[in-house]
Amino acid sequence: MVGGAAVRGARRRSARPEAGGGTKRDRRGRPPWRRGRVLAVLAVLTAGLMAFPGAVPNSVGRLGSLLETFLPWLGLVTVVLFLLALRRRPVIALVALPLPAVAWTLLFAGLLGSDPGRADLVVTQHNVSDENADPAGTARALARAEPDLIALEELVSPALPVYARTLAATHPHHAVRGTVGLWSRHPLSDVRTVDIKPRGITEGWSRGLRAVARTPHGDVAVYVAHLPSVRVGASGLASSWRDESAELLGRAIAAEGRSTVLLLGDLNGTVDDRGLAPLTSRLNTPERGFAFSFPASFPVARIDQVMARAATVGHIRTLPATGSDHLPVSAGITLDREPAEAGSARRP
């Protein structure tokens, strides 16, 4: 009994500040500068993944693309680490935690900016879903945003006449190829199919079109596309068809003879996903707004995209939910006054 009391007393004394202003140790006898090493490592790793997602290879399960799909959400990891650090205040962790916060700020804080105001064109992009039970209501909701152009995907035969009839008053010009369509306030010409079908798909499949919109600000080549779906499973991200389709679409846009190009579509990928590099390397992406569009019930990623060449995509935002599993997105487009040469892109 006496020996046990002596041991307990020694432990209490060891936890007290040492004479001469020594530092307080924890229950394991560690000084503050040695505590929190796990949190510090996690903070540095999170910052590294945000700043250099390309370091994660795509060779196994396309883990790099999977990370890039949810890259902005790493900010929540930073918040959790910060809350854990506040509980015990380990010095080394508190020193490391600003790293992921700074990385997130540099990468994504600019997207939080406000709407810059009036644009030359307003465009809306929406995968309306082939199971949409209210196409007329969906069309009316899209028209209320007063866009110049409306791009739609997953158009099916029974619903197509409903969209055409409902949008006719506000958007009298339209073109449809396969399951994608474009409605416009301005005349359309030079409409053609864009072949973006991967080699592995053998059945009938048409998900790309190109048209020229004759706007008050000049002619604009408009592409509407619906890239193949991706699947997330135990083996990672299945996106090979999507990536192949993106490459085909990128080649078509690179060969486009008109300087000003808009791409509207369900691309089944985010602008950070390297699988869309054939497009994001050639086109400008939105300067402001996250506009997470999928799934509509709890949006975690923007896979519905608006991109441009010789034009700036300003603020992108989501519109109210329709009968689709996607949310519509709308963006303002400011055309370059001195268009770049065809094939070039001015990154924002």
- What is the per-residue pLDDT across 259-295, written as a single tens digit (0 to 9) for each? 999 999 999 999 999 999 999 999 999 999 999 999 9
Question: 299 and 260 in contact (C-beta within 8 Å)?
Answer: no
pLDDT of residue 34: 57
Query: Is residue 11 predicted with pLDDT exceeding 90?
Result: no
Peptide linkage before 295 cis (omega within 30 of 0):
yes
- Residue 34: helix, strand or coil by DSSP? helix
CA 175 to chain centre: 27
pLDDT digits (tens, 9 = 90+) for 173-230: 999 999 999 999 999 999 999 999 999 998 889 999 999 999 999 999 999 999 999 9
Q: What's 117-335's CATH class?
A: alpha beta
pLDDT of residue 237: 83
Query: Is residue 348 predicted with pLDDT exceeding 50?
Result: no
Element (H, E) at 127: strand 121-127
Banded pLDDT at 30 (limits 50, 70, 90): low
Query: Is residue 98 predicted with pLDDT exceeding 80?
Result: yes
pLDDT of residue 92: 80
pLDDT of residue 275: 96
Nearest one of 262, 261, 282, 260 to 271, comparing CA atoms: 282
* Token digits of residue 110: 């600019």
Averaged pLDDT, 238-248: 95
Share of the chain above pLDDT 90, in %: 72
From residue 2, how far is each of 5, 6, 10, 13, 14 by CA, in Å? 5, 6, 12, 17, 18
Report the distance separating Cα 241 and Cα 227, nearest Å. Answer: 8
Report the distance separating Cα 139 and Cα 150, nearest Å. Answer: 10
Q: What global pTM score does this model have?
A: 0.85
Question: 332 and 314 in contact (C-beta within 8 Å)?
Answer: yes
Phi, psi angles (nearest 5°) of residue 316: -110, 140
Distance in Å from the first CA to the final CA of the chain: 74
Report the distance separating Cα 17 and Cα 36, nearest Å. Answer: 19
pLDDT digits (tens, 9 = 90+) for 290-315: 999 999 999 999 999 999 999 999 99
Query: Is residue 59 predicted with pLDDT exceeding 90?
Result: no
329-335 and 311-318 strand pairing: antiparallel
Averaged pLDDT, 245-269: 98
CA 254 to chain centre: 22
Ranges of H-type helices in the chain: 2-15, 37-51, 63-69, 74-88, 91-96, 98-108, 135-144, 160-167, 240-254, 277-280
Question: 208 and 177 in contact (C-beta within 8 Å)?
Answer: yes
261-266 and 218-226 strand pairing: parallel
Greatest extent of the chain over all pairs of C-alpha atoms, in Å: 97
Banded pLDDT at 91 (limits 50, 70, 90): confident
Among 147-151, 235-239, 267-271, 272-276, whose mean pLDDT is lowest? Answer: 235-239
Number of CB atoms found within 10 A of residue 275's CB: 28
| Residues forming CATH 3.60.10.10 domain(s) in the chain | 117-335
